[in-house]
Chains A and B, each alone.
Chain A
Amino acid sequence: MIMAILRIMISKFKSAIRSKELYVYIIGFPLIFMLIYGSFAWALYSEIQPITIGYLNMDKECSYKIGNSTYHINYGEDFYRYLKELRYEETNVNVFKIVNVSSREEAESRVGRLEIAAAIQVPIGFSNNLTRALESFTYYSLAGILNSRAQEAYENGNYEEANKYWSALAELSEFANASFSIRINLIGDPTYSKAMQAYELCWKYLVSYVISKSKSFTNLYAEYLSKKYNISIEFSNETLSLSIEQSFQVAFHRIGGGGLKESFTKMYFAILVPGQIIQSVMMSGVSVISMIYVEIERRLIERIKLTKVSSPEYIGGVLLSWGVVALFQSTILLLSAIALGYVTLTADITYYFLSIVVIVTAGILTASFSLTVASFVRSEISNAIIMIMLITLSLIIAGYFPIPNPIIGELFGVKFAALDIAPWRRAIIALRKLLMLTSIYTPIDVLPDLLILFLWTIIYTIISFITFSLMILKKRE
């Protein structure tokens, strides 16, 4: 069975890469778009200059206690100082030039006059929320360690030591159920490229700021527990993993009226490149449909039915071949993106390996979706139908525009959102983390996205298998 699948896969792959249509649809177009976007944005990204942003701090100071010590903090002010000190890598050039603004109206007015690229508005409860977040992160960082040390001591008969760890764990548990949402607002014009650049940077630095605060807070609390209970807590800050998407929000507020009409194409590449790669993989659906219809129209499918090939072998071969096609096209696009300087290279090969897994899965997913459509639509307009479906879907999920995405469920701690039903979105998110935001995300952070991508791909594959078998391979008309 495996040999049959492999032979079909190899033949389909050969067939696909010899098709001119494939190059036009899935490599030609994305490459041209990438070059156009790139040429627009190259100048923007190659010039290293501070971005002027406004800062409106509405945060209220809050306090928290660790043991007998009480700490007072205004994270809104602290975040201001953090942003002000940021430098571009290997330079002395500040990332931001920050201008204080006193009201939202002033911020909008200054954005409108191009005095600032955008304005950060820190909301009233920022400090309070961040404190809850840091407590929660601390709980998740330390609870496991304390529990395992307690178990270990208990199993070794060292009950006194075990009790100390359990007591520390009990005290830590007050942080267990903290609820929070770390949010800042960014006021700007989304058609203005610098606003979008500021938006991207705000995301990046808010995440890195919270991570750095989290590490400090966890260290402080670990030190406190060690002293109080006379225990040793060894943990690595590197293991700190944050579910960033669910914990953070940089809400983009469009200013009223607009008037700034710089090209929308000058969007940031962290959004653009992975979106383009997955879009091009999705566009391969057009070729999948074409090839399937050629096989149906030219009665190749009828001929195949007379052979020993079973439905799982045929469908498996088709799906795998499009996984390989996706890899082939993505390699070309990715190499182009790297050559154009859009992708930051990293030495860790895990990032690239996982990227390949994501892309191949997205290819299989696209082929499954296309096979399902091919099971029901049999006409000359099938290409147009699949193209309209996939282009619309790809634009919705690529994250170029803000679209509501409510959480609809949770399984083993992984939250499912409404847009997960179009699982290519998870592929894009995973690629953003793996290819563009390597300084922020570890490969482990990508696992929830991969899990959801796999689950949905399996579901889509099963659906395609059932529909294509029943409607095409086994049906007598």
Chain B
Amino acid sequence: MEVAISVRNVSKVYSNNIRALSKVSFDVYKSEIFTLLGPNGAGKTTLIRIIIGQLEPSEGEVYVLGVSGRDFLKSDVRLKVSYVPQENIIWRNLTVEENLYLIGSMYKIPRRVLKEKVKELLIDFELFEVRKRLAHKLSGGMERKLSIAMALINDPEILILDEPTAGLDPRARASMIASIEKLKKLGKTILLTTHIVEEAERLSDRVAIINYGKIIDIDAPSNLKTKTCGIEVLELLFKELNNEILSKVTSTIHEKNIARAGDKIVIKENNFNEVIENIRSNEYLSSKILALSVRKSNLEDAFLFLTGRFLRGE
């Protein structure tokens, strides 16, 4: 498969000595959706800013369509890449249409072609009705759509989306996911960052789990789940999880099969019926438990077992 983005041993230490990335390496192939999954502060945005040439890595190198990160901004390859950061890239005092025309004119797209392209994007992203509205008067979801529509004005080969659904309500989030799926069908290479597992699972061809600036694992979402925690897990939620509860629940289970996140215990690869029976027969545990379920494993569980952290920081 052809490589679109190649990240080789990239580390980044900021001037205040905070290490944001440590020896990160991976490839993003053409026409795939590659997701960086990690909690806030894991180094995802830093990595993206290095890829688009805004940040200099402390060591290592990045190549985008074969061009080194050092030369990225000087090279025409930059014109094949679009980037949508967490903050919506829009001019808030311009209308929806004016925003699209402005960014299009920055790519020096001929007026006639630009007119067609703007119309197409307005329709595709369901913004046609609000095209004369000032951007700051749009809802969060619409602002996000406009931001992504602007990123597509130059018909980029690679689209980099940093937390594309951050701050959106469920309806807007669903609509955004649908838009990204449409882009996938168009054969775009998409590098996505998120801390939302449902999004990563649904959209990604491959997921890189990133934690404290390190890549922990890279694989297809289904592989990541099964190889890390099996097909099913047992989830126990307590009122207030303390060491006594923990020792009573886990006394018979190997510690590598247990992960704790807040007041929650997740157990993998075990005889779940036996564990459930054990809890039910114990009066103390029964009084403390709020919920108990055997469910299919997800990327959240994979992240938890790989890092010992809960993705959403709960």
Contact = CB atoms under 8 A, between A and B. Distances in A.
Interface of A: 3-4, 7-8, 11, 14-16, 18-19, 294, 297-300, 302-309, 474, 476-477
A302 B91 contact: no
Nearest to A297: B87
Contacts of A306: 52, 73, 78-79, 81-83
A300 B106 contact: no
B79 A308 contact: yes
Given A476-B54, A477-B55, A477-B56, A302 B106 contact: no
Given A4-B108, A15-B93, A307-B107, A302 B102 contact: no
Contact of A307 (B53, B56, B79, B134): B79
Contact of A302 (B56, B83, B88, B101): B83
A4 B106 contact: yes
B94 interface: yes
A298 B87 CA distance: 6
B106 A15 contact: no
A19 B135 CA distance: 12
B103 A305 contact: no
A11 B55 contact: no
Given A307-B103, A477-B55, A302 B94 contact: no
Given A299-B85, A307-B79, A476 B93 contact: no
B261 interface: no
Contacts of A305: 53-54, 73, 78
Contacts of A299: 85, 87, 89
B83 A476 contact: no
A18 B94 CA distance: 8
**Interface range on chain B (Cβ under 8 Å from partner):** 20 to 34
Contacts of B81: 306
B154 to A, nearest CB: 8
Contacts of A300: 89, 91
Contacts, number: 79
A305 B74 CA distance: 10
Given A305-B73, A306-B78, 20 more contacts: A4-B105, A7-B102, A7-B106, A11-B94, A14-B98, A15-B91, A298-B85, A299-B85, A300-B91, A302-B52, A303-B85, A306-B73, A306-B82, A306-B83, A307-B154, A308-B79, A308-B108, A476-B73, A477-B49, A477-B54
B106 A309 contact: yes
A409 B92 CA distance: 47
A302 B105 contact: no
A303 B146 CA distance: 14
Nearest to B45: A299
A298 B83 CA distance: 12
Contacts of B55: 476-477
Interface string B94-130: 1000100111011110000000000000000000000
Contacts of B87: 297-299
Interface of B: 49, 52-56, 73, 78-79, 81-83, 85, 87-89, 91-94, 98, 101-103, 105-108, 134, 154
Given A307-B79, A476-B53, A7 B91 contact: no
Nearest to B85: A299
B88 A298 contact: yes
A471 to B, nearest CB: 13
Contacts of B79: 306-308
Nearest to A303: B89
Contact of A11 (B82, B88, B91, B134): B91
Contacts of B101: 7
A317 to B, nearest CB: 10
A304 B56 contact: no
B108 A15 contact: no
Nearest to A15: B93
A176 to B, nearest CB: 59
A309 B109 CA distance: 11
Nearest to B79: A308
Contacts of A304: 106
B196 to A, nearest CB: 21
Contacts of B83: 302-303, 306
Most chain B CB neighbours (cut-off 10 Å) among A4, A304, A307: A307
A15 B99 CA distance: 10
Nearest to B12: A477
5 contacts: A8-B102, A15-B94, A297-B87, A298-B87, A476-B73
Return the 3 tightest CB-CB contacts between A and B, nearest first: A307-B106, A18-B93, A15-B93
A301 to B, nearest CB: 9
A359 to B, nearest CB: 23
A334 to B, nearest CB: 25
A361 to B, nearest CB: 25
Nearest to A20: B93
Given A297-B87, A300-B89, A7 B94 contact: no
Contacts of B49: 302, 477
Contacts of A15: 91-94
Contacts of A302: 49, 52, 54, 83, 85
Contacts of A308: 79, 106-108
B164 to A, nearest CB: 14
B105 A7 contact: yes
A8 B102 CA distance: 7
Contacts of A8: 102, 105-106
A4 B78 CA distance: 18
B303 to A, nearest CB: 27
Given A4-B108, A306-B83, A18 B73 contact: no
